[in-house]
Structure 1
Amino acid sequence: MRTRLLLFWVVVAISAAVALAPAPAAAESTWDQIKRTGKLRYGAIDYPPNWFRDKASGKWTGFLVEMVEDIAKEMGVEAVPVETTWATCVLDLQSNKTDLQFGLQATPKRALVIDFAGPAYELYWYAVNHQGFKAKTWEDYNKPEVKIAAMLGSADVVILQKVAPKATRVELSDVAATALAVTSGRADAMVTAVFGALVAKNRNPDLGDFVLPTPTVYLPSYAGLRREDNNTFQKFLQAWAEWNNLLGYTEARIKKYLESAGATDIPDNVRF
């Protein structure tokens, strides 16, 4: 009897202790973290005109940099660039290395692990050919003997897998490397979104035709952010994107930095 009574009071004591123990603290939301630290960390990739990095000063500029700086101003915090790549930018969001990543397409694979706000702007996909190589449709590119350069980890690769799966892909680290592959003859063409294609064509006079392959491929571009229960930051970014598109601010920024990147000769077939 005494043993049972002792066990009863032990159980009561443990239950009371559990009931009085403080609940585990909820994870800090991205919004709260940004406001607490005073810093909005964003992923920056060397991909003009979206992002430029001055080699001497290390300072980042570009239309996406200007967009993040405007967001930071609205929030009353500092925008802090964190260099990343297309292959690692989603992981940087997940690991809390960055808070925001512009320039993403909402692919199903990405949507499994992060959230999106936007779209921030619209993108068409172009090809820039090697001189002497002629192609106008995706079917022209969709051949095993055709080598197409694209950036590793980017939406360019995903799109090529859909529209030209038979082509031989040459996956490289950045847009400069893809352009070099074409001019050197290592690839017959490069495929990327309109901004990178325009800059590459204007900076590399040895490149051939600037092509909008048919049927045209279009995708909206979003801001990526960490997945969490508190969606305050996502709602704010959504409102910001809609407002800036409505008033034409986003298009004005894009045109400004295309010129800064040397893309002054814009063909008639360009859409954005």
Structure 2
Amino acid sequence: MSRTTGVEMTLRTWFRMLGITVLTFSLPEVALAASSLDKVKQSGVVKVCLAQQQPDNYKDPRSGQWTGVMVDLLNELSKWMKVKTDIAEVGWDVAVLSLKQGTCDLFASSIVYTAPRAMEIAFVTPFGAKGDNIVIDKKNPKNIKVHADLNNPNITIIAELGTREHDNAQRFFPKARILAVKVPSTVQVIDWVKRGDADAAVLPTITARWWLNVPENAAWAAMGFPGNDFGNAPNGWAVRQGDPDWLDFLNSFSGWVTANGMAKQLYDEYLERTNPFTKKD
């Protein structure tokens, strides 16, 4: 074998090895997505993202601790798995991005299905379904009575940026003036209605009911369409796409929750509890 041939073979071997190395380093996202369940088992920690929305998941103003329906379900899961949770608070406007970038292994707030979201992330089997409604001034100066009354250029609607409510407001009421704001807590969008800067605040119906359970809130505000929600959709958790083992595991947990009626029971309990945002004398 000539020296030239030997050099050529050495170079070919080197390039093949380089190709394998490049391939290996080009797959971290796939490997990350495929190993979430194994990673949780090995580390004993599940990285969770939460965005505030009452009564699903919120920080108690007195203790600063996360609480709510979804938090209780998360605690049940982590206790059963014998793992710890590492919680990162994110805004609804980056809920999808937080999963795609690997900030968390699980988005455990009550994230509601929308087609754009489903194109980017994988939804866990839902715990139930949620509809939207509006909170308006009890005096109802714009005489809002039916859904169609909102689809009017003279109506200003407020919603939290990046939420399903923001998406629904745009889809169902395209003629209205839509304000989308970033707030620490979903119920804070109602402040725009109280100040007269918006005619209606779009919220999950369960959140509106929970907020209106506070007497001082019900003194000036009301549900716009009692018993007549819009935009009903499944709600639950979500994970990155391409993570079948982790998704299957969480789907099984969701099935167990549903079989035992836990989600509905928790929602009923939270609606009956004293609201921690109630002003004290």
TM-score range (shorter-chain normalised) is 0.7 to 0.9
Structure 1: how far apart are the matches of 2:270 and 2:50? Answer: 15
1:182 is aligned to 2:193: yes
Given residue 258 of structure 2, which amino acid in structure 1 is its aligned partner? N
Structure 2: how far apart are the matches of 1:53 and 1:201? Answer: 18
1:169 is aligned to 2:178: yes
What is the aligned partner in structure 1 of residue 279 from structure 2?
none
What is the aligned partner in structure 2 of residue 195 from structure 1?
206
Structure 2: how far apart are the matches of 1:9 and 1:106? Answer: 60
Q: Deviations over 1:131-170 (max 9, x none)?
A: 2223232211110111111111100011111111111112
What is the aligned partner in structure 2 of residue 249 from structure 1?
262
Contact residue 127 and residue 212 of structure 1 kept, 8 A: no
Contact residue 137 and residue 213 of structure 1 kept, 8 A: no
Cα deviation for residue 127 of structure 1 reads: 1.3
Aligned pair count?
259
What is the aligned partner in structure 2 of residue 137 from structure 1?
146
Picking from 193, 215, 222, the partner of 2:236 is 222
1:42 is aligned to 2:55: no
What is the aligned partner in structure 1 of residue 111 from structure 2?
104
Matches of residues 51-200 of structure 1 in structure 2 within 5 Å? Answer: 51-101=57-107, 102-133=109-140, 134-172=143-181, 173=183, 174-200=185-211
Cα deviation for residue 76 of structure 1 reads: 2.1
Cα deviation for residue 216 of structure 1 reads: 3.6
Given residue 93 of structure 1, which amino acid in structure 2 is its aligned partner? L
Structure 1: how far apart are the matches of 2:102 and 2:63? Answer: 26
What is the aligned partner in structure 2 of residue 8 from structure 1?
5
State the identity as a percent. Answer: 24
Contact residue 50 and residue 63 of structure 1 kept, 8 A: yes
Cα distance 1:44–1:53, how it changes in 2: closer, same or farther (>3 A)? same
Identify unmatched segments of 5+ residues in structure 2: 277-281
Cα deviation for residue 103 of structure 1 reads: 1.5
User: What value does the CA root-mean-square deviation take over the aligned residues?
Assistant: 2.5
Q: TM-score, normalised by structure 1?
A: 0.85
Given residue 136 of structure 1, which amino acid in structure 2 is its aligned partner? K
What is the aligned partner in structure 2 of residue 24 from structure 1?
24
Contact residue 201 and residue 210 of structure 1 kept, 8 A: no
Contact residue 42 and residue 81 of structure 1 kept, 8 A: yes
Greater share of helix: 2
What is the aligned partner in structure 2 of residue 268 from structure 1?
none
Cα deviation for residue 56 of structure 1 reads: 4.7
Structure 1: how far apart are the matches of 2:227 and 2:69? Answer: 26
Q: Deviations over 1:67-95 (max 9, x none)?
A: 11122223221123211111112211112
Structure 1: how far apart are the matches of 2:194 and 2:98? Answer: 33
Contact residue 133 and residue 229 of structure 2 kept, 8 A: no
Q: TM-score, normalised by structure 2?
A: 0.83
- SS of the residue aligned with 1:98? coil
Cα distance 1:10–1:56, how it changes in 2: closer, same or farther (>3 A)? farther
